[in-house]
Structure 1
């Protein structure tokens, strides 16, 4: 009989350790552990109510090429998207020369030169992108041979916005129009 009670006490003490849905905190409190989101989503009523409003997505690719200030350029001088669209832009830097570092910065109409010059003044510590309301979006710096991506929402107001590489002196040859319709 004594052995029976010892077994029961041991079983009761081990039971909390067998439960995979709870965990004991340092203070000894038991709290609910995170569950697998897939299993929750499968049976959750919220999963049945799908989002009926989908934002248009525009996938764009812009390639920077050239191994000197005279050769460098974007492969396109015009990019287009619908107003309010989600833009997923891939910037491919095909250059091989280590001085051919590029980015792409989208600006308000007529502001690409101002933004590029402010980026030059800011320097590498700010990724050559000034903190100003005239900047709509910017990519990370793409080193030679590197591809970077940026996601942003196109302006809601249609118009001819601009894009530019703000690395020092690149703005003179690397800029274009971002048409929002």
Structure 2
């Protein structure tokens, strides 16, 4: 009988506690959330942009917005672990008239120039260096004229998944 009373008292003590549960955000294991509209960190003169590439051939941003003529400081972070020879990433901004597939195909045979095709240099406005897992590169450039441009990774075959819009307002 004493045991029954102790169990009953324990149940009452537990049920009388604060019923408010702390809500925690759901964990996402093994995924990287893509930011669709990624406004750059902007002041009047400089747009600071950080973009990440991972071992699943994904950028974490599919859209970047800046202002025409603005200084852009873009940092590419390869957040994966694979070597540059296996899963290298760069960030290349194409001219408005560039054909992304043509640049991507030409880049596939440009290993000696870090997959930046010299015969299409006039179609690439600016690019980072090719990075392996854990590496980072920062470039600075002036945003081009207003319009929508394409950015991509030029490592062989990556442009199919690693691409986005660079919107200049």
Common fold: TM-score over 0.5: yes
**Could you tell me the TM-score, scaled by structure 2's length?**
0.67
Q: Which structure would you say has the larger Rg?
A: 1
Contact 2:72 2:143 in 1 (8 A): yes
> Which of 91, 96, 104 pairs up with 1:104?
91
> Which of 33, 42, 61 pairs up with 2:50?
61
Provide the C-alpha distance between the structure 2 equivalents of 1:114 and 1:176, rounded to a whole number of angstroms: 16
- 1:92 alignment partner in structure 2: 77
What secondary structure is seen at the aligned counterpart in 1 of 2:122? coil
**Could you tell me the TM-score, scaled by structure 1's length?**
0.63
For the pair 1:114 / 2:102, whether they are aligned, the reply is yes
What's the offset of the Cα at 1:113?
Answer: 2.1
Higher RCO (CA 8 Å, separation ≥ 6 residues):
2
What secondary structure is seen at the aligned counterpart in 2 of 1:171? helix
> Which of 140, 149, 162 pairs up with 2:138?
149
- Cα RMSD of the aligned pairs, angstroms, is 1.4
What's the offset of the Cα at 1:103?
Answer: 0.2
- 2:153 alignment partner in structure 1: 165
What's the offset of the Cα at 1:130?
Answer: 2.1
Give every structure 1 segment of 4 or more consecutive aligned residues whose post-TM-superposition deviation is greater than 6 Å: none
Per-residue Cα deviation, 1:101-120 (whole angstroms, up to 9, x for no partner)? 10000001253222222111
What's the offset of the Cα at 1:94?
Answer: 0.7
Aligned residues: 121
For residues 27-106 of structure 1, the aligned pairs below 5 Å read 56-66=45-55, 71-98=56-83, 99-106=86-93
Contact 1:111 1:162 in 2 (8 A): no
Per-residue Cα deviation, 1:4-41 (whole angstroms, up to 9, x for no partner)? xxxxxxxxxxxxxxxxxxxxxxxxxxxxxxxxxxxxxx
Provide the C-alpha distance between the structure 1 equivalents of 2:150 and 2:99, rounded to a whole number of angstroms: 7
- 1:133 alignment partner in structure 2: 122
The unaligned stretches of length 5 or more in structure 2 are 1-43
Contact 1:86 1:152 in 2 (8 A): yes
